[in-house]
């Protein structure tokens, strides 16, 4: 177990609040005023040049915010949007929402490059229900090859769609997993021709091999994590599944548990970004709450965002924010969305600046030692 208390701390990111775009003449409207997101964001994602938001003002709309900061939207559901998944390599957006009251979640797949009456073309609609049991959707993920979609549910079920996820006729949907604990995270891992699906609940972690008939399952651990507290690393960390509990962060291969790191604190949000592990935690002084509940929209406590380099064992950035809605990556930067509607950009510093900071961190203690001697 690697204790992070001994890790060096750096400031490898510059923080800046996103401002309103300036007017045509370089001034006028905007021009230094912080950009404000509308209230009521319940879900968001990013990719294909935009930040994507769901259910602003609870109207069932999906909103797109490009780099120009000019909002556009379309009506996706009659009532509300609950989940979004924007693919990175395709202009395909998957969503979950409701067109009628009750537990009747619908999955809709949108082709953002094709239009239908001015709106993105909806290429597929199907009910997100495991069998005939109405239950709430907890998480959604889509494979970048467009041949797999997985949906997790509060009753412990996972529904897998195999085949072209954009078309009804060319895919098959089945219940892959049934359990007793809410599913809190899903992630596809592709290594060569081998596809795995990681499934984490509040109480356990398992992997399914989807490249083999009957999808053999392997239980990896007997503890889990809360919603939004798992992610998949990139090849720099060997495509490991990362699960953040309140005491430790665990890494997993499809067939075994790997290293763990003693990062304490109640985890609320976990992401992977360009070789870094991003963790948003609750201040330890705050009162505890249900781990499954994730972040509480009504709680305005301060949040601590840490950026970890697991390979080199240092903290690349650490800062305190007001209640964090989510952390998104787009346009080469990280964007921290806070409950007050602000967007904070975290821009990674250039390599030369980082090397100078590392050199200073190594040389300064030696100079102090000589002076003290």
Residue 172: closest CA among 152, 155, 189, 148: 148
**How is residue 34 annotated by DSSP?**
B
Residue 42 structural domain = 37-180
Q: Is residue 43 domain-resident? A: yes
The DSSP result for 293-341, as a single string, is T-S-TT----EEEEEEETTTTEEEEEEEESSEEEEEEETTEEEEEETTS
Three-class DSSP category at 118:
coil
* Residue 100 located in a structural domain: yes
Q: Is residue 72, in this structure, part of any structural domain at all?
A: yes
* Token couple for 186: 């899903």
Domain count, the chain: 1
Closest by alpha carbon to 335, among 10, 50, 12, 32? 50
pTM above 0.85, yes or no: yes
Q: How far apart are CA 228 and CA 189, in angstroms?
A: 17
What pLDDT does residue 3 have?
Answer: 54
The contacts of residue 106 (CB under 8 Å, 6+ apart) are 77, 96, 97, 98, 99, 125, 126, 127, 128
Question: Residue 130 falls within a domain, yes or no?
Answer: yes
pLDDT of residue 243: 98
Structure tokens at 17: 């609040």
Instruction: Report how far residue 287's alpha carbon sits from residue 46's, in angstroms, rounded to the nearest whole number.
Output: 31
The pLDDT tens digits along the chain (373 residues) read 555 568 999 999 999 999 999 776 555 555 689 999 988 899 999 999 999 999 877 789 999 999 999 999 999 999 999 999 999 999 999 999 999 998 889 999 999 999 999 999 999 999 999 988 889 999 999 999 999 999 999 999 999 999 999 998 888 999 999 999 999 999 999 999 999 999 999 999 999 999 999 999 999 999 999 999 999 999 999 999 999 999 999 999 999 999 999 998 899 999 999 999 999 999 776 544 444 544 444 445 799 999 999 999 999 999 999 999 999 999 999 999 999 999 999 999 999 999 999 888 765 444 344 445 4
Answer yes or no: are the C-beta atoms of 133 and 166 closer than 8 Å. no
Confirm whether 350 is domain-assigned.
no
Instruction: State the pLDDT at residue 238.
Output: 95
Using the 8-state DSSP alphabet, how is residue 9 labeled?
E
Domain annotation covers residue 6: no
How far lies 35's CA from each of 65, 92, 186, 366, in Å? 12, 27, 33, 45
Q: Do residues 245 and 267 touch, judged by C-beta distance below 8 A? A: yes
Q: Does 167 reside within a domain?
A: yes
What's the pLDDT at 373?
44
Q: What is the CATH number of the domain that holds 80?
A: 2.130.10.10
Look at residue 55 in the predicted model and tell me its pLDDT: 86
Q: Give the CA distances from residue 359 to residues 14, 76, 314, 328, in Å, rounded to whole numbers and listed in that order.
A: 19, 52, 14, 30
In a domain, 172, yes or no: yes
Q: CA-to-CA distance for 120 and 45, rounded, in angstroms?
A: 17
What is the distance between the alpha carbons of residues 344 and 356, in angstroms, rounded to a whole number? 25
């Amino acid at each position: 177990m690697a204790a992070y208390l001994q890790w060096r701390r750096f400031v490898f990111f510059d923080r800046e609040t996103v401002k309103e775009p300036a007017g045509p003449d370089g001034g006028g409207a905007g021009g230094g005023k912080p950009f404000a997101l509308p209230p009521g964001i319940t879900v968001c994602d990013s990719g294909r040049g935009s930040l994507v938001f769901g259910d602003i003002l609870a109207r069932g709309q999906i909103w797109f915010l490009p780099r120009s900061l000019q909002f556009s939207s379309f009506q996706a559901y009659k009532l509300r949007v609950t989940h979004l998944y924007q693919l990175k390599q395709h202009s395909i957006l998957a969503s979950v929402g409701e067109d009628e009251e009750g537990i009747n979640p619908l999955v809709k797949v949108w082709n953002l490059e094709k239009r239908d009456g001015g709106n993105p073309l909806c290429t597929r609609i199907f009910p997100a229900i495991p069998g005939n049991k109405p239950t709430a959707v907890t998480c959604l993920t889509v494979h970048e090859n467009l041949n797999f979609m997985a949906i997790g549910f509060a009753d412990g079920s996972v529904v897998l769609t195999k085949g072209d996820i954009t078309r009804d006729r060319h895919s098959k949907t089945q219940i892959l997993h049934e359990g007793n604990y809410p599913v809190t995270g899903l992630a596809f891992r592709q290594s060569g021709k081998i596809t795995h699906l990681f499934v984490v609940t509040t109480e356990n972690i398992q992997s399914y091999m989807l490249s083999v008939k009957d999808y053999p399952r392997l239980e990896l651990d007997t503890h889990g994590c809360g919603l939004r507290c798992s992610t998949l690393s990139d090849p720099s960390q060997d495509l490991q599944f990362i699960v953040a509990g309140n005491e430790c962060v665990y890494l997993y291969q499809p067939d075994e548990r790997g290293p763990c790191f003693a990062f304490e604190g109640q985890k609320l949000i976990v992401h992977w970004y360009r070789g870094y592990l991003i963790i948003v935690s609750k201040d330890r002084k705050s009162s505890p709450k249900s781990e499954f509940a994730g972040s509480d929209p009504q709680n305005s406590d301060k949040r601590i965002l840490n950026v970890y380099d697991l390979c080199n064992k240092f903290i690349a950035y650490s800062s305190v924010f007001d209640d964090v809605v989510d952390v998104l990556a787009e346009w080469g930067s990280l964007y921290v969305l806070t409950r007050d509607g602000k967007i904070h950009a975290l821009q990674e510093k250039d390599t030369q600046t980082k090397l100078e900071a590392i050199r200073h961190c190594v040389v300064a203690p030696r100079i102090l030692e000589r002076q003290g001697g």
